[in-house]
């Protein structure tokens, strides 16, 4: 069984509609109920800042501090984590745009927010993700990279460095006479980083597909067929160094074309995650809204199980409005699956009765006007 990771205390200051908040949590799942606009998702967003990145809304840091406060925001949590109990504090000092988020672990400043992955992994599912299957491929790549990052802490840095090298190449190609040595160096860097990036994605898709296949007849959620296409299709059984040389050759041959287009037309930044409904043999984008939601829930639960199995620690789940479109039987099955993962989940909804099947497994809190009560 994976070890449980959970928040035992959460404190906020000037975060969205919370001037200040202090919550004592007992390790059970947390159900947040209240009217729309009360601040349930804001609280979930605060928890999401205990992972690298800009949180579940991908908001600019300057948009997060409470209106009129003139300050930055802060999130503090005590976590029973992967390395034992730890105090984590993060936030910004002012409300200006473009500032960096700061992180302290046990009171000591951290060099990078990636250090959060040493203590807990956080996965989320929000209503904003309901359009994943019908939206642009960039959304699916971002979704996939987030899943990879929860298993491979170096993936985020590789993605950032690849994008930086690609922007440098694009700028260089826009010059009348680009330096060929510099161009070759940037393309070599893109090849190394890009193939490592794509390999990590393919590996996760393979692992996840295997897990979904193994559980296809276990539970009320449809199983998904996963594939990653659009970049060097059919080449991924070769050794990595051979694929790097293939991509490097593509970059060299495509210089004039890319210069004319003003962007790089070949690379992992053009790949797409393709998902099909196995039982209906249909692309997920053509399924009904309810089927798409069920597919997405099944994927998130499968990935949470993969994280728990590979790290030995269950992830913290943030499930926003998770029960809204599920019937009573499917809600009960969902709660059982979430509980069986062995971690802590935060769930939101407008009606507490929808979470009745959780019983004593959850701590129920009511949210109203930026305040939380039992």
Claim to verify: residue 282 and residue 214 sit in the same structural domain: yes
Claim to verify: residue 116 and residue 144 sit in the same structural domain: no
In a domain, 343, yes or no: yes
Claim to verify: residue 358 and residue 252 sit in the same structural domain: no
Q: Terminus-to-terminus CA distance in the chain, angstroms? A: 30
Claim to verify: residue 100 and residue 145 sit in the same structural domain: no
Question: Do 369 and 39 meet the contact criterion of CB atoms below 8 Å apart?
Answer: yes
Q: Rounded CA gap, 4 and 126, in Å? A: 23
Tens-of-pLDDT digits for all 374 residues of the chain?
A: 789 999 999 999 999 999 999 999 999 999 999 999 999 999 999 999 999 999 999 999 989 999 888 789 999 999 999 999 999 999 998 755 557 899 999 999 998 999 999 999 999 999 999 899 999 999 999 999 999 999 999 999 999 999 999 999 999 999 999 999 999 999 999 999 999 999 999 999 999 988 877 766 666 788 889 999 999 999 999 999 999 999 999 999 999 999 999 999 999 999 999 999 988 999 999 999 888 988 999 899 999 999 999 999 999 999 999 988 788 888 999 999 999 999 999 999 999 999 999 999 999 999 998 899 98
Q: Which domain holds residue 193?
A: 140-288
Q: What is the pLDDT of residue 360?
A: 96
- Could you give the maximum distance between any two Cα atoms of the chain, in Å? 69
Structure-derived torsion over alpha carbons of residues 124, 69, 62, 119, reported in degrees to the nearest 10: -40
Claim to verify: residue 155 and residue 279 sit in the same structural domain: yes
In a domain, 295, yes or no: no
Tokens standing for residue 340: 């069986």
Claim to verify: residue 107 and residue 207 sit in the same structural domain: no
Claim to verify: residue 268 and residue 367 sit in the same structural domain: no
The residue among 271, 288, 305 that closes a domain is 288
Residue for token digits 């202090």?
22
In a domain, 92, yes or no: yes
Residue 76: closest CA among 106, 52, 56: 106
Domain count, the chain: 2
The residue among 288, 304, 339 that closes a domain is 288
Claim to verify: residue 20 and residue 61 sit in the same structural domain: yes
Claim to verify: residue 58 and residue 179 sit in the same structural domain: no
CATH of the domain at 182: 1.20.1050.90
In a domain, 368, yes or no: yes
In a domain, 373, yes or no: yes
The residue among 288, 321, 354 that closes a domain is 288
In a domain, 131, yes or no: no
Q: Rounded CA gap, 255 and 261, in Å? A: 10
Q: What is the pLDDT of residue 123?
A: 97
Q: Rounded CA gap, 315 and 306, in Å? A: 10
Q: Rounded CA gap, 317 and 362, in Å? A: 13
Question: Do 149 and 137 meet the contact criterion of CB atoms below 8 Å apart?
Answer: no
CATH of the domain at 355: 3.40.50.300
Q: What is the DSSP string of 42-61?
A: HHHHHHHTTSSSSTTTT--G
H/E stretch holding 122 reads: strand 122-125
In a domain, 132, yes or no: no
Residue 9: closest CA among 63, 76, 64: 76
In a domain, 158, yes or no: yes
Claim to verify: residue 255 and residue 321 sit in the same structural domain: no
Q: Rounded CA gap, 14 and 332, in Å? A: 36
Residues forming a β-bridge with 313: 3
Residue 59: closest CA among 21, 113, 22, 95: 95
Q: Rounded CA gap, 103 and 108, in Å? A: 8
Claim to verify: residue 162 and residue 257 sit in the same structural domain: yes
């Amino acid at each position: 069984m994976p070890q449980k990771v959970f928040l035992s205390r959460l404190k906020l200051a000037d975060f969205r509609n919370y001037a200040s908040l202090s919550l004592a949590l007992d390790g059970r799942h947390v159900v947040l109920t209240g009217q729309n606009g009360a601040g349930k998702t804001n609280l979930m967003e605060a928890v999401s800042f205990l992972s690298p990145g800009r949180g579940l809304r991908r908001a600019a840091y300057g948009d997060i501090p409470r209106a009129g406060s003139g300050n930055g925001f802060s999130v503090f949590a005590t976590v029973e984590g992967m390395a034992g109990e730890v105090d984590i504090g993060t936030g910004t000092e002012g409300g200006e745009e473009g500032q960096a988020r700061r992180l302290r672990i046990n009171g000591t400043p951290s060099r990078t927010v990636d250090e959060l992955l040493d203590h807990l992994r956080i996965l989320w599912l929000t209503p904003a993700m309901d359009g994943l299957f019908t939206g642009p491929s960039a959304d699916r790549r971002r979704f996939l990279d987030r899943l990879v990052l929860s298993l491979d802490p170096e993936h985020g840095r590789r993605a950032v460095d690849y994008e930086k090298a690609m922007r440098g190449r694009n700028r260089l190609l826009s010059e009348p006479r680009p330096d060929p040595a510099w161009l070759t160096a940037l393309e070599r860097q893109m090849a190394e980083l890009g193939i490592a990036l794509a390999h990590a994605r393919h590996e996760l898709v393979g692992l996840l597909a295997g897990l979904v296949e193994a559980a296809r007849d276990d539970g009320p959620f449809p199983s998904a067929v996963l594939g990653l296409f659009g970049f060097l299709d059919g080449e991924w059984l070769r050794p990595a160094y051979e694929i790097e040389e293939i991509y490097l050759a593509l970059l060299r041959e495509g210089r004039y074309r890319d210069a004319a287009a003003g962007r790089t037309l070949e690379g992992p930044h053009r790949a797409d995650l393709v998902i099909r409904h196995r039982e209906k043999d249909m692309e997920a984008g053509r399924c009904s809204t309810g089927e798409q939601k069920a597919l997405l829930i099944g994927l998130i639960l499968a990935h949470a199980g993969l994280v728990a199995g590979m790290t030995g620690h269950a992830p913290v789940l943030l499930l926003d409005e998770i029960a809204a479109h599920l019937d009573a039987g499917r809600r009960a099955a969902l709660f059982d699956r979430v509980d069986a993962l062995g971690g802590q989940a935060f769930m939101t909804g407008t009606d507490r009765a929808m979470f009745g099947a959780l019983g004593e497994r959850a701590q129920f809190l009511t949210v109203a006007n930026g305040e939380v009560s039992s």
